[in-house]
Chain A
Amino acid sequence: MEITIELLVFLVFALLTLAGGLGVVLARNLFRAALLLLLSLFGVAGLFVLLAAPFLAAVQVLIYMGGITILIIFAVMLTRGMVRARNVFSEQWDLAAIVSLAFLALVVYLLWQLQQGSSAALFAAPPPEGGLENPIAALGAALVDPAQYMLPFEVASVLLAGALIGAIYIARDDEVE
């Protein structure tokens, strides 16, 4: 295997992602765990760039790093006693381990399948027309094309609206008492 700059950069980002993830699990302080999650997400953004998907990288930074992490930090600060929690291993570590292992097995199985070439067709879908010239325009056209992703696009809107209404319903009900 030839060592290229791409490979080295990939190793750096992969390491960042893994180290960040490990840090999230092991950090005793929940705020620091959230910051380490940031590191991990940044690594993933870098991997997206290497996969020639800069749009996804920007989305990763914008939504996950700039949005979800803040939501997590707010959630930490909202929860009584969470900030000072010193419990490294959560109560449900056995359940978590089973889920994680199952997911790992799934990923390994998929990679193995890909190696065998049996499901290669699934991953090697042809790029959309004109996709190589302006990938973002192609994505936009695909999102509203009835033959492609129109339904998921509209369902996403319903899902977002539903999430918002549901969350507000729960949050506000707590306050009235």
Chain B
Amino acid sequence: MLRDALIQAGMNAGLATFLDILGGVLVAATFGMAWVLFGIWIERKVAARIQNRVGPNRVGPYGLIQNFADALKLLIKEVIVPRNADRPVYFLAPVLMVVSVILIAAVIPFSSVVIGTDLNIGLLYVLAVGSLGTLAVLMAGWGSNNKYALLGAFRAVAQLISYEVPMVLALLIPVMLAGSLSMQDLVRSQHVWFLFVAPIAAVLFLIAAHAENGRAPFDLLEAESELIAGYNIEYSGMAFAMFYLAEFMHAFFVAIVFSVLFLGGWRGPGAETYPILGMFYLGIKSMVVYFVTVWLRLTVPRVRIDHLLALNWKIMVPLALANVILTAFLFKLVPTPDYSAARAIAEGEFTGVASGLYRLLGPEFVAMLPLAGVLLVGNIALLVAAAALLRWLARRRRQEVEALVDETEYAPGVAAAE
């Protein structure tokens, strides 16, 4: 849009394209940064309320500009670089961390027209960019040359790479249903929200993405009680602030990506005609998801590292694999929804209940219902089966342990006999 206007004003086409791109980038990046400062305030308020506190309320109305004050404070703090640090690596780590998060914004469809760039490999791009954060953690740990930092970084990397597996496996389901990796296509094919078509994939993705971000109950990256602060222990001032910023931004983007992939993104009544409404819908949806992640973070205690990895490799990965196979099977079982036929019925002559239904609920929605219903039932069945299996395994394990206890000296019968 801007490009055409500039060319009409007599500007060189190449330069106009560049300015167009630059403008888009600046808008997207500024949006991200401004959103974060406001979002941190929300999170602090919610956290305070959940913990029966008041939260920030001194600086500005309702403490709204508390975060600006904090940012300013961090800006004038000394950046203490440890003597033994590997300096280039030490300073590159926070930058790479933020970059890996900001880059996700480039392909988020904020509405039917507002999107940085709709790559045909959009989702894969999100995953690829996100995996760079792992390297930043490793660089921070190494660069600090601190035992806690490096130990924290190694543990963090073990966690991050492990949870990437169920996350990516879960994302195969929306890709399969949409038949595309482009973020815009993924939104457009959600005539029924994928949350209801593939609930297991949605939950697996949310848990794994939450763990990828390293927030409680998966905050082993910075387990205060064992590793002091983990990989960012030696960072101070603005360098530390960047890690903090990256974590919060990541949390927002997880919420946004979840909304895009499973909650229909910008879709909603009138969003096609008025794109601004789409941004509003996406905002509402992602705030709800964000609230859920904050809630999760504040109410669930931290898990132990062996439990963390066991949960991933022994429960989530097998479940995700089974889910891929089940969805692929059911997807072939049900005939592919015929959207053009549905549209023809809706636009054709009014013949009775069927065409009335198509008109009322939207032709695509009705056409997708059989597929969605079968997949939903399949998902529930898989979940029940998995739960029953887990219950059986846990019961057997408990019986094993109890059988062991009976033979020891702690058994009351043995003690009485002596």
Contacts and interface: CB of A to CB of B under 8 A. Distances in A.
Q: Do chains A and B touch in the complex (CB under 8 A)?
A: yes
A66 B121 contact: no
A19 interface: no
Nearest to A42: B132
A67 B120 CA distance: 23
A55 B124 contact: yes
Interface in A65-91: 65-67, 69-70, 73-74, 77
A151 to B, nearest CB: 20
Interface in B97-151: 119-121, 124-125, 127-129, 131-132, 134-135, 138-139, 142
B14 interface: yes
Interface of B: 14, 86, 89, 119-121, 124-125, 127-129, 131-132, 134-135, 138-139, 142, 154, 157, 161, 164, 179-181
Given A38-B135, A73-B142, 18 more contacts: A54-B120, A54-B121, A55-B124, A58-B125, A61-B128, A62-B124, A62-B128, A62-B131, A65-B128, A65-B135, A66-B131, A67-B161, A70-B134, A70-B135, A73-B138, A77-B154, A136-B181, A137-B180
B132 A54 contact: no
Interface of A: 5, 29, 31-32, 35, 38, 54-55, 58-59, 61-62, 65-67, 69-70, 73-74, 77, 134-137
A55 B131 contact: no
Q: Is the interface of A mostly helix, strand, loop or mixed?
A: helix
B209 to A, nearest CB: 15
Contact of A137 (B138, B164, B179): B179
A134 B180 contact: yes
A5 B14 contact: yes
Nearest to B17: A5
Contacts of A69: 135
Query: Which interface residue of A61, A66, A136 has the most chain B CB atoms within 10 A?
Result: A66
B138 A70 contact: yes
Nearest to A136: B181
Nearest to A61: B128
A31 B93 CA distance: 14
